[in-house]
């Protein structure tokens, strides 16, 4: 027996069917299924605030927010991936019977120690290949700070937005997302 682990690849259709029956969520990367870790109350409070704020700003538009129960499907040459972002905005939604979205415009991940590396590397690299995506936002939990990757004519540009008085501009949807709304009720250590 070798030291290398043997992975049994899961068919995409089996993964999607299984996710509808499971109590725990799993992400799918080219046939390999990964169980998702739980989150802290702070992480969940920030995630709920992001979705609530997006919903408020998007009311009356063709776009809608999705919470962390909706997967995003990403088709890459290396294989299909399904991730559960903490929040996303879709303006061209998949049919209601699907359990995933293909065309997010905005994706938000709330960072935690257990997911930071994946969110900043693997997921970022995959998300930035989505043709419809205009903005990927990573939200810190220990300070009022976000890192965004915004699509420009020459590709994605990284910038940092910090401070409760700051906002994340979303001009193609006609609003800005205040960090004060994202971090509503969150206390930071001095």
The arithmetic mean of pLDDT across residues 54-70, rounded, is 95
User: Tell me: the pLDDT tens digits for 9-19?
Assistant: 899 999 999 98
User: 118 pLDDT band (50/70/90 cuts)?
Assistant: confident
pLDDT at 4 over 50: no
SS (H, E, C) the chain: CCCCCCCCCCCHHHHHHHHHHCCCCEEEECCEEEECCCCCHHHHHHHHHHHHHHHHHHCCCCCEEECCCCEEEEEECCEEEEECCCEEEECCCCCCCCCEECCEEEEEEECCCCCHHHHHHHHHHHHCCCCCCCEEEEECCCCCEEEEEEEECCEEEEEEEECCCCEEEEHHHCEEEEHHHHCCCCCCCC
Report, at the CATH architecture level, how domain 39-71+83-182 is classified.
Alpha-Beta Complex (3.90)
Which position has the higher pLDDT, 100 or 35?
A: 100
pTM of the model: 0.91
So where are the chain's domains? 39-71+83-182
User: 7 pLDDT band (50/70/90 cuts)?
Assistant: low
The arithmetic mean of pLDDT across residues 19-37, rounded, is 88
User: Tell me: the pLDDT tens digits for 146-173?
Assistant: 999 999 999 999 999 999 999 999 988 9
Percent of the chain with pLDDT over 90: 75
């Amino acid at each position: 027996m070798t030291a290398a682990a043997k992975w049994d690849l899961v068919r995409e259709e089996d993964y999607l069917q299984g996710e509808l029956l499971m109590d725990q969520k799993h992400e799918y990367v080219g046939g390999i299924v990964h169980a998702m870790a739980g989150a802290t109350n702070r992480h969940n409070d920030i995630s709920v605030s992001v979705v609530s704020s997006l919903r408020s700003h998007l009311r009356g538009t063709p776009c809608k927010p999705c919470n962390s129960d909706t997967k995003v499907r990403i088709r890459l040459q290396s294989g299909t991936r399904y991730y559960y972002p903490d929040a996303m905005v879709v303006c061209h939604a998949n049919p209601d019977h699907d359990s995933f979205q293909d065309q997010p415009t905005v994706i938000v991940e709330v960072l935690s120690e257990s997911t930071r590396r994946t969110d900043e590397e693997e997921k970022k690299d995959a998300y930035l290949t989505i043709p419809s995506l205009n903005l990927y936002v990573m939200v810190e939990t220990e300070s009022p700070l976000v890192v965004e990757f915004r699509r420009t004519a020459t590709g994605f540009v990284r910038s940092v937005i910090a401070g409760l008085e700051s906002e994340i501009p979303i001009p193609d949807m006609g609003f800005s997302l205040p960090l004060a709304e994202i971090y509503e009720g969150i206390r930071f250590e001095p």
